[in-house]
Amino acid sequence: MSESNNRIKIAVQKSGRLSDDSFSLLERCGIKIKKSNGRLFCHSQNFPLDVLLVRDDDILSLIQDGICELGIVGTNILREKALQNNSNVVINPIEEVINLNFGFCKLSIAVPDTFSYVNISSLANKRIATTYPNLLKQFLKNNNVDAKVVVLTGAVEIAPRLNIADAICDLVSTGVTLEANGLCEVENILSSQAVLVKSLNMSVEKESIFKLLRCRIESVLQANEAKYIMLHCPKIALDKIVKLLPGAENPTVMNLTGSDVVVAVHAVCKESVFWETLEQLKAAGASAILVLPIEKMMG
């Protein structure tokens, strides 16, 4: 087997909103990567994976051109590029593998506070500035709105003040940028988060490395949400309390020394455990409730 078939390459954002989470995901998968300033290529010594550090806009092209096999990008980029590629022949098509639970944002249309917005038809014949022309055009078409799309490469939020546009279509997470620029969110076009993507053209050897990585990523994502709950429970309230445990399958029930009426219940809860759940458990008679994080989980 040649050296290049022994390893797979993943492209991740070099520096930006997805970088830290992408690296920490790989780290939590037990993959050791030495990141050094200025280097665009990192080699893992304990897993057959190499990491390419690039701009997020280049990740999909790198996979399509066969330079790497995997990538971590936002759905915003994935969907925009898919519309752009519609008419082109792509050598290495891309498959979306799994949502990664970080990089959450929305692609939204926003208008100046002074714009009297009623509904989507208020955008008719207006100029909308964006870096996502394909998604915006598709949205306008689906809603039968005829508006002019002004394509910008950045600083979209200042377009109305510069009188380049009447409205904008941009990514929003906290909403602080919109507010600071006197803009108000009126339509949500897309909800986005980081996703793992892969090339559909991979050798059998690379597919098997990918399977290992995918399994580790799935375990990390499951463990993120999952919690281990331990509590004491009056026997008569057992059914009620077990039903309150979020996403728990077959909890373990154990006798407590010196008590005939109380048992200990241990369960893996696969969904988030909120304060409200703990309050309900307590109200149902549970005591000594412990909620512990789960570091790794494999089905």
Instruction: Give yes or no for a contact between 269 and 248, defined as CB atoms under 8 angstroms apart.
Output: yes
Please, which residue, 156 or 248, has the CB nearer to ligand PRT?
156
Smallest separation (angstroms) from ligand PRT to the CB of 31: 21
Please, which residue, 195 or 273, has the CB nearer to ligand PRT?
195
Please, which residue, 58 or 281, has the CB nearer to ligand PRT?
58
Binding residues for Zn ion restricted to 188-217, rule: CB under 5 A: none
Q: Which does 166 bind (CB under 5 to 8 A by kind): Zn ion, ligand PRT, none?
A: none
Smallest separation (angstroms) from Zn ion to the CB of 17: 9
Smallest separation (angstroms) from ligand PRT to the CB of 256: 48
| Of the candidate residues 19, 21, 50, 57, the single one contacting Zn ion (CB under 5 A) | 57
Distance (Å, rounded) from C-alpha 105 to C-alpha 130? 15
CB-closest chain residue to ligand PRT: 74
- Binding of Zn ion by 157 (CB under 5 A): no
Judged by the rule CB under 6 A, the positions of this chain that interact with ligand PRT are: 13, 16-18, 55-57, 74, 76-77, 103, 105, 170-177, 192
Q: Which does 70 bind (CB under 5 to 8 A by kind): Zn ion, ligand PRT, none?
A: none
Smallest separation (angstroms) from ligand PRT to the CB of 157: 6
Radius of gyration of the chain (CA): 25
E-strand spans in the chain? Answer: 8-13, 41-43, 49-54, 70-74, 94-99, 105-112, 127-130, 148-151, 167-172, 183-192, 194-199, 227-234, 252-255, 262-269, 287-293
Q: Which helix (H) or strand (E) holds 278?
A: helix 275-283
- Binding of Zn ion by 218 (CB under 5 A): no
Please, which residue, 105 or 111, has the CB nearer to ligand PRT?
105
Smallest separation (angstroms) from Zn ion to the CB of 12: 13
Smallest separation (angstroms) from Zn ion to the CB of 104: 17
Alpha-carbon separation of residue 108 from 74, 170, 188 (angstroms):
15, 6, 4
> Given the DSSP bridges, would you call strands 194-199 and 227-234 parallel, antiparallel or unpaired?
unpaired
Handedness of CA 90, 94, 95, 96 (dihedral sign): negative
Distance (Å, rounded) from C-alpha 9 to C-alpha 210? 10
Residue that the structure tokens 């050897």 belong to: 205
- Binding of Zn ion by 56 (CB under 5 A): yes
Instruction: Give yes or no for a contact between 215 and 298, defined as CB atoms under 8 angstroms apart.
Output: yes
Please, which residue, 13 or 219, has the CB nearer to ligand PRT?
13
Instruction: Give yes or no for a contact between 245 and 229, defined as CB atoms under 8 angstroms apart.
Output: yes
Site residues (vs Zn ion, CB under 5 A): 56-57
